[in-house]
Structure 1
Amino acid sequence: MLGAFLIGLREGLEAALVVGILVSYLTKLGRRDVLHRLWIGVGLAIALSLGIGALLTFGSYALTTQGQELIGGLLSLAAVALVTWMIFWMQRAARNLKKTLEGELDRALAQGSLWGIVIVGFVSVTREGIETALLLWSMVESAGSAPQAIVGALLGLTISVLLGWAIARGMVRLNLSTFFTWTGALLIVVAAGVLAYGLHDLQEAGVVPGPFSALATLDPATGAVGVGLEGFPFGYAFDVSTIIAPGGTLATLLQATVGFMPEMTWIQVIAWALYLAVVFSIFFSRMTAGRPRPSTEPSPSPAQGAS
């Protein structure tokens, strides 16, 4: 529920801010007559996102078990790629987001096309909608708690819409840079967990080597799949299922937030650690690069200032 709430809050607020900018600009231009076209685009984007979520949820039932694992693993990797790209895109585009959106509206209005405004509204919301659908589906698949995830996502989306409305009205002041920095960092951790579970699915499908394939690393003493150093590289890195029960409250909470599973393979652990190390390094280096550097020039003395 916590991970789903975070996703709904961040992605919903991004979409709400984008729509707020577009509505405010059209109102400022005195073109409220085309607002209905913008809302048509937003509605189509929401419908597409819900359709993708429904297709992922119900379409997988027609597949074989191996097919479900394969599709689930590939879609989890796609969700991680999309989330990672969107985090860096927002980090780069946030400063000029308003100018970019207003420019898109100016071009659509200049062309005088009915579909121009619809497309601007559709594209502006579709990015967050598809990302939310993919990531939530991957989280539900990994944690296996659909009702809690849906409640968390709806709660986050509701709060994000109210926040977006309050910000647009000037009723709430929110440091968006700080908000997106912290939620971006938390989303990176969530995405690392989705990556680990996606690789687990692909290992179960036999696409990636692991304990479920003929390449499994066996413990020479017992002949079973190795655990720890005896399981490197295609066995289990650890197995604490006797301490943390799989499917229990603690296991579900850890899996939905940081991607921890009581039993994880070496490939899962290595991929999880590498993703966090690489993505966090880039994330924080870009964040630092975007901050203004203090001036190194000496300030003029009073005598110099008076001369």
Structure 2
Amino acid sequence: MDGTYLYGLRVGLAVGGGVALQLALLAGTHRTRPVWTGAAATVGFFLGVGWILEFGSRQPTPETRALVTGTLSIAAVAAVTWLVLRVRAGLTVTAAVTVTVLLIGREGLEAALYFWSAARAATGVSASVQPLLGLALGVATALLLAWALYAGARRARPDLLARGAAAAVGVIGAGILVQGVTALREAGSAGGAAEPVFDLTATLPPDSWYGAALKGLVHFLPDPTVLQVTVWSLYAVPALLVALAPIGFGRSVGGAGVKEKTTDG
């Protein structure tokens, strides 16, 4: 399958999956506009930075790009952890906006450079719109899947939505942490290639749409190393225990996992 389509699908789902769950949680309060505003501002910022870097005289080195991705991924994990702890007690708009901005940010620089590279290819001497078209179709597919996730989550019972969203975000956070640690390791060029714990590339090939979708949603790797499996487990297991715990999180208003003011009386 075309690599630009798969890239657009992966990046779109990496952002869209987490944002869709947050919008579903906030939909009942009609306070989703700050999330959309934060998302649009972040996309615009990275597109601007990407344009300057792509068409400027100097471009970032692979190590610099990995460092930016890794740093923003770790920051996103911190925000996602906050979200996991808050969803069951009541999701705040501030938390949702923060997570949205960082989810976009961790992919922002690479995605912006990829977009402007495809745009340049569409207007160059041997112009070809195929890379840009493939990227657009991939992102469009991801947005449709994210909308389906949002629509399905909206139909769930409010208490199940809160618990399920916290668990899903915990798994997403584990994948982000693996991505961040891997990127920082690449930025520091520490060590060589490690042997995988298992290899499922024949069953879930990265160049398939479902392989790209899994990597986008939860950063699933078909051939993870010991370090990646360890990092994922150390985050995902406690996060799932916290998310699925039946007690200890106080009262969710209306059971929806969204924080609102209530009055007793």
Distance 1:51 1:154, change over 3 A: farther
Q: Which of 254, 278, 282 matches 2:238?
A: 278
Partner of 1:180: 162
**Helix, strand or coil: the match of 2:88?**
helix
Look up the equivalent residue of 1:134 and give its one-letter code.
Answer: L
Deviation at 1:136?
Answer: 4.5
In structure 2, the partner of 1:70 is 67
The Cα offsets for residues 130-189 of structure 1, whole Å up to 9 and x where unpaired, read as: 3223224546869x996445554477469969x98xxxxxxxx86312112112212221
Change beyond 3 A, Cα 1:136–1:149: farther
CA 202–178 in structure 1, closer or farther in 2 if over 3 Å, else same: same
Looking at structure 1, the residues matched to 143 and 62 of structure 2 have their Cα atoms a distance apart, in angstroms, of 27
Q: Over the residues paired in the alignment, what is the CA RMSD in angstroms?
A: 3.9
Aligned to 1:101: none
Task: Tell me if structure 1 keeps the 8 A contact 2:163–2:244.
Answer: no
Q: Secondary structure at the match of 2:90?
A: helix
Aligned: 1:132 with 2:105: no
Distance 1:174 1:269 in 2: 31
Alpha carbons 1:13, 1:157 under 8 Å: kept? no
Mapped to 1, the partners of 2:161 and 2:106 lie a distance apart of: 24
Question: Residues of 2 paired with 1:7 and 1:44: CA distance?
Answer: 15
1:288 aligns with 2:247: yes
Q: In the aligned structure 2, how far is the partner of 1:155 from the partner of 1:250?
A: 12
Contact residue 83 and residue 166 of structure 2 kept, 8 A? no
Pairing of 1:47-86 with structure 2 (within 5 A): 47-59=37-49, 61=53, 62-86=59-83
Corresponding residue number in structure 1 for 2:90 = 93
Distance in 2 of aligned mates of 1:18 and 1:187: 20
| Structure 2 gaps, min length 5 | 1-8, 54-58, 115-133, 252-265
Q: Residues 69 and 46 from structure 1, CA distance in 2 versus in 1: closer, same or farther, beyond 3 angstroms?
A: same
Q: 1:247 aligns with which of 207, 214, 222?
A: 207
Structure 1 residues 255 and 74, CA gap change in structure 2 (3 angstroms): same
Identity %: 22
Structure 1: gaps of 5 or more residues? 21-41, 95-123, 165-172, 207-211, 217-224, 228-235, 293-307
Q: Which residue of the partner structure matches residue 10 of structure 1?
A: 21
Pairwise CA distance, 1:252? 1.1
Deviates more, 1:80-89 or 1:238-247: 238-247
Q: Deviations over 1:216-239 (max 9, x none)?
A: 4xxxxxxxx452xxxxxxxx4445
Secondary structure, counterpart of 2:221 in structure 1: coil
TM-superposed CA distance for 1:84, in Å, is 1.9
Q: 8 Å contact 2:18–2:172 — kept in the other structure?
A: no
Per the TM alignment, residue 194 of structure 1 is displaced from its structure 2 partner at its CA by: 1.7
The two structures have a TM-score, normalised by structure 2, of 0.62
Bigger relative contact order, structure 1 or 2, given CA contacts below 8 A and separation 6+?
A: 2
Describe the SS at the equivalent of 1:92: coil
Q: List aligned pairs for 1:10-49, cutoff 5 A.
A: 10-19=21-30, 46-49=36-39
Correspondence list, 1:118-267, <5 A: 125-136=93-104, 138=106, 147=136, 148-149=138-139, 151-153=141-143, 156=146, 175-206=157-188, 212-213=189-190, 215-216=191-192, 225-227=193-195, 236-241=196-201, 244-267=204-227
2:263 corresponding residue in structure 1: none
CA contact (8 A) 1:244 1:262 kept: yes
SS at 1:182's partner residue? helix
Q: CA deviation at 1:82?
A: 0.8
Tell me the number of residue pairs that the alignment of Structure 1 and Structure 2 aligns: 210
- Shift, 1:83, TM fit: 1.6
Q: Which has the larger radius of gyration?
A: 1
Query: Match of 2:40, SS?
Result: helix
Give me the TM-score of the superposition, normalised by structure 1: 0.55
Conserved in 2, the CA contact under 8 Å of 1:4 and 1:153?
no
Alpha-carbon distance in 1 for matches of 2:148, 2:218? 24
Which secondary structure state, in structure 2, belongs to the residue aligned with residue 288 of structure 1?
Answer: coil
